Structure 1
């Protein structure tokens, strides 16, 4: 209870007869000091059912002294009219209004005008409106003040400019139900009421949050647990301190009247409310029927949710497909609807029917997730069967499009049968989306499978094109003939047309549209062209190696592909020119892709610009006004068909010439060496001069046979060394190299020959000794010794049999 000082600040401003006491309100405002508060004040009001403890709550919450009901004297009306008081110990100044309770028996069933007026007045002047609700009344139409709130919203929108009001829903005698659930239900009711009320055009699309903030709190029973009640009220009191500050309960209020004009504003508002005759609520009978039918419907819904048959059916659905789902669920729903009809048969038929439809709708909505699960199982089963059937038909060799249509039709029939088995007769569920989903899934699978099959088909035919073109194109390009590209074009067209014809026949089973078929054929044709171009680019990348190989072949082999012997009559210059011309033609073939059968001047440009000498050089000034290779593109050849640019050709030719000079030089040296070997004897006049000038020396040798024998042995030794080591071959690579090689091998050879001669001398002496005793065997012994001498001297060179024969002849 409030202290004595606060009791003088309590006043009745509206009497039980509905008349406002303006002077009393003014006296209260003056005594409480409201007039000097400016905008720093807040108004809090409370309304709710009679005997719900409104005054008790206000007294404990704000320290006021409103008259409380004495439960020992019966549940009679305590607060009559509207009372106001000042909250004690709360800043800013807070004016508290205690309204007469609703549903009071003193005013009767049909006299509810004052209830409407007082509630509307509280909403109009208050920043915070507390609505006292019994916890067990939540969900009831009348007890929860839903019709009253709806009427208040409509009148408030029509009568007053909008202001932001806090609706604080206070749940009394809280049960075990969590506050979150109760708060959610109450807020949903408030929003539904707001959405259903008609609004002026200017507020047609206005949301509830533009006019009201809604909060919910719950308090325990005051009579059963007074200490806990006071503790919870103490916590709630803190919310009203600085309520108009940012973040407070009334922080969003709008249209606040200055404190000096509050009394005039309140009296004017009450006058407007009293003169309004259109405020009314549904008849008590309809309200009772509404509340009771809702209670029965809620009870049946709860019983259905806890029904064992339904719970078993719901659990079975989560684990897999359930046969006869629709029939089983329909039987359970029929049982509870029939029970509802039996209990509500004496209430108003209109209300009863509406609530029955709501009950049926709520049950159907509750079971819809289980039905969707059944349909999802059905969808997966049918789709899996569709995939398996289609795969089996394709494996058996059936055509793709026909197989897909057949499987889709059979799957649709199976799905329709499953749908009829699962549907509930009470529900008007549309199966269009489910059918479309299945159809879409089958189409997606068919499309994916078609793409995969077509990819396999394209890969197969691309492989065939690769095998048919790659090797032959490489072989043709390696020849480097003038008609190489003509041969490649014939090969390309023949193989491509043949494979594309077969590919088109294979595409027919997929029943593709004309555009897609043409695109795929063009793609395959482009692949054939890319295969040729790729192979040509690979060969063009090795052009220098190919050119050197071609040059070497032509230079070192004759027309019969026999190795050349560089004799004196070979025209090395002409052969070199022929070899370079062959290499240049090979580069001409590799310079560009010529699949379009268009003429070009690449061959002529290369011949005129790169081939030195010959009859072509003088044509440069006639056919080309400038250097045709001083460019990065060929005339009449597109850049994408260019394999080797003119500038690259010139660079490659310079490198080619530099790397092929050595074979030509070697050929010239070999020819000179051959020429010198054929001209080893001096001229006849030289021999005659030598004979005349050397006459005395010759006579000296004839008179001294020992010198002749020494010269003979020196000749034999030199000739043997010459033949055995092929001395001429050493000098082919240069004089210095030949001398070094000979010196490293000559000494061991000389030692071997000297040793053989010494041995031969020993054998000769031994033979002379034996000849004295056996003269007849002299000739045979001499012959054997000569033969052994030849073997010792010449068998060391098995690779030169001709030398052995020659020496044997000389000895003989």
Structure 2
């Protein structure tokens, strides 16, 4: 406390009357005033100029107010109002040093600031020191009379519930005892009070406003040691001044430390602006102050009453029975005590303060009343929830009678609550029990609605899942098949499953007693869930439209009507097969392009999708016929298609108009899975990806034709006959050469088949040569061994076979020459069958090995 920085002095109000709020706020922060709360006191000092006020404060509180320099004469030292914190005094004590009165610097006529500063000191201070000379006591023309008159005058403008302590400090005490001086001083004070103008008809006493005490101090210059001892004794009286019985024990006007700066600033502004302030009549004023004190005292007693504290603690924890009776006793006791003490005060003020006290007491009790009913309300709600849960618990397939259960549980809950509400009510309180009951009813309704929503949501969710599961997989399978009856089948499936689910829904919610609009809305959501499931499934399938179209094309193109792999023998009509496969793929695309869940009468409008897509293929075929030179050129074909569409019907539903629009006619946006432009793009991609398959089939067919034809061209046959006639005759004339050539032919053909010459060279010349070189010797030896085994057997059985054949031919009436020729041909055929396989079959097998698109999906 003795550190230099703690003894701070500031000028709160300057000599011109300007309040220095920023300096005051800085001072408050420095002394930590905000942390004090209400534990601080305010002391101010008044007195004539140069009467030693600052000197007294400095010695008594350890402050450093500027003191008068006696060597320079008696001049004004303190200007305005100064503030400092007392040193060594607990609790925190703030000291105001006011400018002295009756100074020559301001003159006799300028008393405005004198009155304003005096009123300010009385308003903010707990203790006001009146500094006066001992020799002025008993004098008619004393220096302190103008000061006291000023104090009493401004007090008429100040209303406060507390009485300010006026501590008269008599300076330079003589030998006259204080017990002798005090009555004289009080008589002088009373005369001054009597001389102050008062409101007409009001007999005001000084004791109504002030608590007056008197003390005396020796002369500072002549008896300095005695002066210091007396000052120390006086300072000790300021220790714990705010405690009950202390100098500042009346704390009714105190403000928290956090509001001190704002409060003092506001007071000064009011004092500066309101020069004349009307005071209430004396009787009303006294009644107001006193009745307020009594009411506050009785309310405080109620707050500290053991019965109330016990009651309050009980209702904070649980429900209390008999609350109304006990609370009524406490209220009656408080009001009776107030009436007994306030009987002699003004009736109007007394009744007003009584009403205020009653309101405050009822507000205090109502908090406990509300807490008690809150516990009961919560208990009733818990019981309601448990009973409702038990009533609506699902037992087997029995429908839930929800509405009936809610009505029964609600009636029981409200009845239980009303019993406690009547028990807790205080007679004459006017508490609105109905409002709390309505709150309980509202909570019950909200909870019941919440449970109903949950139950209905669970029922709806379960049925929606059932409906989605019932339609999702079948719809996916039907869409994947993509038959002509796809959407009629889906509509039929949806209608059947939806009808079953709606029946189950109506049975499940029968006990809820739903409003017609709510039930209709839930049915709509249920039905929509099935439709949305179909839309989602269709959208998933439409996302794979390109793959589905290609798969459909490959299925039809690569397999025959019996679903067997197709073998391209050269006899198939690839153009017709291609058209059928593309047509089927386009129909699948039209199936996936839009969802058709409308009734048959409305869904017929969506046939334009299939017509438009099929017309797209037909238009391309027409364009190819119109532009034969552009065969194989996609750009020219596309241009030709545009020309064909340009000449088409320009009606709204014409294929050209449909394909050129952004949506399908008669199809809602939510039901459109693929737009016309997307379908055209898919068609172009599909054609591009299937062109290779078609070209491979054409190549396989052409290769099959070539492999199936072993004869040379006719001109080559004629040339061989003409040019090789001599060689042929030489062979005929030489039997050994003929037999050798025949044996060589059969041996070469057998080796050709066994070595698979065509298949070996299909992988390249070098791999073919390597394969043949490794297999030639084993194959040759096997062929020779076979020939050696079969020739003798054939020669031995030859005559019998010839004779048998001749007999059969003779029976048929054929000539002998013809019979022998046929026998030779038959023998040749049988020998060939044992030596090699069918060349057509081998060629077909080779084609299949080299062309993976033949006979495969």
Instruction: Give the 3-state SS of the residue equivalent to 2:621 in structure 1.
Output: coil
1:665 corresponds to: 695
Matched, 1:694 2:717: no
1:593 pairs with one of 592, 595, 598: 595
1:391 corresponds to: 389
Matched, 1:411 2:444: no
Question: Could you list the per-position Cα deviations for residues 412-436 of structure 1 after superposition, in whole angstroms to 9, with x for gaps in the alignment?
Answer: 1111112123333463322122112
Matched, 1:116 2:124: no
| Contact kept? 1:187, 1:214, Cα under 8 Å | no
* CA shift in 2, pair 1:333/1:42, >3 Å: closer
Give the CA deviation at 1:539: 1.8
Instruction: Give the 3-state SS of the residue equivalent to 2:542 in structure 1.
Output: helix
Question: Could you list the per-position Cα deviations for residues 611-659 of structure 1 after superposition, in whole angstroms to 9, with x for gaps in the alignment?
Answer: 3337999898453478442332334444443322222222211111111
Instruction: Give the 3-state SS of the residue equivalent to 1:57 in structure 2.
Output: strand
Determine the C-alpha separation between the residues in 2 that align with 1:530 and 1:718.
Answer: 66
Give the CA deviation at 1:382: 0.8
Give the CA deviation at 1:395: 0.8
Determine the C-alpha separation between the residues in 1 that align with 2:440 and 2:239.
Answer: 50
2:776 pairs with one of 745, 750, 753: 750
2:107 pairs with one of 19, 30, 34: 34
1:718 corresponds to: 752
2:146 pairs with one of 81, 84, 93: 84
Matched, 1:648 2:678: yes
Matched, 1:806 2:804: no
Question: Could you list the per-position Cα deviations for residues 506-555 of structure 1 after superposition, in whole angstroms to 9, with x for gaps in the alignment?
Answer: 44433333333333333333333322222222222211111111111211
Q: How does 1:721-740 map to 2 (within 5 A)?
A: 721-722=755-756, 728=758, 735=762, 737=763, 739=765
| Contact kept? 1:340, 1:356, Cα under 8 Å | yes
Matched, 1:57 2:129: yes
Instruction: Give the 3-state SS of the residue equivalent to 2:117 in structure 1.
Output: strand
Give the CA deviation at 1:809: 12
Question: Could you list the per-position Cα deviations for residues 337-389 of structure 1 after superposition, in whole angstroms to 9, with x for gaps in the alignment?
Answer: 67778x66996896988877766655443333222221111111111111111
Matched, 1:250 2:271: no
Matched, 1:604 2:630: no
Determine the C-alpha separation between the residues in 2 that align with 1:43 and 1:745.
Answer: 131
Matched, 1:43 2:113: no
C-alpha RMSD of matched pairs (Å): 5.7
Determine the C-alpha separation between the residues in 2 that align with 1:171 and 1:215.
Answer: 25
* CA shift in 2, pair 1:80/1:339, >3 Å: farther
Q: How does 1:108-507 map to 2 (within 5 A)?
A: 116-117=198-199, 174-175=242-243, 215=263, 250-251=268-269, 280-282=281-283, 301-331=299-329, 333=331, 362-396=360-394, 397-425=399-427, 427-507=429-509
Give the CA deviation at 1:297: 6.4
1:143 corresponds to: none
Determine the C-alpha separation between the residues in 2 that align with 1:358 and 1:589.
Answer: 83
Determine the C-alpha separation between the residues in 1 that align with 2:134 and 2:76.
Answer: 12
Instruction: Give the 3-state SS of the residue equivalent to 2:400 in structure 1.
Output: coil
| Contact kept? 1:610, 1:653, Cα under 8 Å | no
1:563 corresponds to: 565
| Contact kept? 2:552, 2:584, Cα under 8 Å | yes
Determine the C-alpha separation between the residues in 1 that align with 2:119 and 2:469.
Answer: 94
* CA shift in 2, pair 1:568/1:706, >3 Å: closer
* CA shift in 2, pair 1:529/1:179, >3 Å: farther
Determine the C-alpha separation between the residues in 1 that align with 2:669 and 2:735.
Answer: 85
Larger displacement relative to structure 2 (450-459 or 489-498):
489-498
1:199 corresponds to: none
Determine the C-alpha separation between the residues in 2 that align with 1:665 and 1:314.
Answer: 98
Give the CA deviation at 1:697: 5.9
Question: Could you list the per-position Cα deviations for residues 678-704 of structure 1 after superposition, in whole angstroms to 9, with x for gaps in the alignment?
Answer: 332458956856873533367678259
Determine the C-alpha separation between the residues in 1 that align with 2:504 and 2:247.
Answer: 76
* CA shift in 2, pair 1:132/1:417, >3 Å: same
| Contact kept? 1:547, 1:587, Cα under 8 Å | yes
| Contact kept? 1:82, 1:99, Cα under 8 Å | no
2:530 corresponds to: 528
Instruction: Give the 3-state SS of the residue equivalent to 1:58 in structure 2.
Output: strand
Question: Could you list the per-position Cα deviations for residues 140-167 of structure 1 after superposition, in whole angstroms to 9, with x for gaps in the alignment?
Answer: xxxxxxxxxxxxxxxxxxxxxxxxxxxx
Number of aligned pairs?
Answer: 610
Instruction: Give the 3-state SS of the residue equivalent to 2:550 in structure 1.
Output: helix
Unaligned runs of 5+ in 1: 10-27, 71-76, 87-94, 123-130, 137-169, 189-208, 217-246, 258-268, 765-778, 784-801
| Contact kept? 1:67, 1:79, Cα under 8 Å | no
Determine the C-alpha separation between the residues in 1 that align with 2:357 and 2:428.
Answer: 11
Determine the C-alpha separation between the residues in 2 that align with 1:572 and 1:809.
Answer: 29
Instruction: Give the 3-state SS of the residue equivalent to 1:427 in structure 2.
Output: coil
Give the TM-score taking structure 2 as reference length.
0.58
Determine the C-alpha separation between the residues in 2 that align with 1:715 and 1:354.
Answer: 137
Determine the C-alpha separation between the residues in 1 that align with 2:354 and 2:266.
Answer: 44
Determine the C-alpha separation between the residues in 1 that align with 2:612 and 2:593.
Answer: 11
Give the CA deviation at 1:294: 7.3
* CA shift in 2, pair 1:757/1:392, >3 Å: same
Determine the C-alpha separation between the residues in 1 that align with 2:552 and 2:253.
Answer: 95
1:613 corresponds to: 621
Unaligned runs of 5+ in 2: 1-46, 52-72, 78-100, 157-162, 164-185, 214-237, 626-640, 797-829, 839-857
Give the CA deviation at 1:499: 2.9
Determine the C-alpha separation between the residues in 2 that align with 1:675 and 1:539.
Answer: 41
Determine the C-alpha separation between the residues in 2 that align with 1:348 and 1:381.
Answer: 48
Give the CA deviation at 1:394: 1.3
